[in-house]
Amino acid sequence: MLRDQRLRRLVVRHLRGFALQAAGAGAESGHKAAVALAIADAGHGAGLPGLPRQPAWSREAAVVLTRRALALRHHPGQWALPGGRIERGESAEAAALRELAEEVGLRLPERAVLGRLDDFVTRSGFAITPVVVWAGVARRMTPHPGEVQSIHRIPIDELLRSDAPWLAHEEGGEEAVLRMPVGASWIAAPTAAILYQFREVCLHGRATRVAHFEQPRFAWRAPRRRGGAPASRPRPLGDQRRPGSGTAPSARPPPGQP
């Protein structure tokens, strides 16, 4: 799938017709964050096992993902979309663009924003707002040395795999954990849930909800409140519709995050 104006128009049209669900005041955590789901060129490839390296620059569409730096206190080494806390007086769109510039050195204007996906409330206490942005060629990206271990361009075609998503129940979880296979590996929720909703809404035009999906236990580390007690998990959004016709049968991936 080429990163061209046809794709841009498709994504914009589907986002405009999508009825957003926000976390709202019912989220018990006060932490609000935004992530950038940046559509860019696939370039020379994702740099991951199971995905080919492109000798010449590829104009196929990809989304920008990172591996968090190993020295970070929270979720080191895990997959993530560029993002972070929304500062006081800042919109989700402004926060996503700021974090995109800080984490991967990609500076985009406000007009690059195409729209939002549903908020996702995490086990670690954040209400995440995904912001879809058009990153263009994005030939040069540089990982922030203190926050990002590596940057990867995941082909959009990889999100359209017939065996995606993988759904499996884990001990202690209320709902199935959603994972997205990528090359010879996989990505877990919440990042995987956001990628899956991007596929369903932006590419297929299906109003699939994902906020009910669980996260694997390694992502359950919640920040502590002032009294020292761990923050409880915020309630999921209401009216959670399960994946539609594009959902593959459940498959259990290898234990732990690669």
86-118 pLDDT, tens digit each:
999 999 999 999 999 999 999 999 999 999 999
Helices assigned H by DSSP within 3-81: 5-16
Q: Does a structural domain hold residue 142?
A: yes
d(CA 224, CA 232): 9
Q: Does a structural domain hold residue 84?
A: yes
What residues contact 160, with CB distance under 8 A and at least 6 apart?
A: 1, 199, 203
* Residue 68: predicted pLDDT: 77
Q: Does a structural domain hold residue 24?
A: yes
- Let me know: does 132 contact 40? Beta carbons within 8 Å: no
Q: In one letter, which amino acid is 234? A: P
Taking CA atoms, 58 is separated from 65, 104, 139, in Å, by 17, 19, 10
Nearest 5°: the CA angle 119, 126, 62 is 55
Q: Does a structural domain hold residue 42?
A: yes
Nearest to 253 by CA among 182, 127, 153, 168: 168
Which residues span the domain enclosing 123? 5-219
Q: Does a structural domain hold residue 256?
A: no
pLDDT > 50? residue 244: no
Q: Does a structural domain hold residue 209?
A: yes
Structure confidence at residue 220 as a pLDDT band (50, 70, 90): low
* Residue 234: predicted pLDDT: 34
Q: 15: which 2 tokens?
A: 């986002």
Q: Does a structural domain hold residue 97?
A: yes
Q: Does a structural domain hold residue 229?
A: no
**In this structure, what CATH number is given to the domain that contains residue 126?**
3.90.79.10
- List, for residues 15-60, the tens digit of each pLDDT value: 999 999 998 654 544 689 999 999 999 999 999 999 999 999 999 9
Q: 17: which 2 tokens?
A: 């017709």
d(CA 197, CA 81): 14
- List, for residues 175-197, the tens digit of each pLDDT value: 899 999 999 999 999 999 999 99
Domains identified in the chain, total number: 1
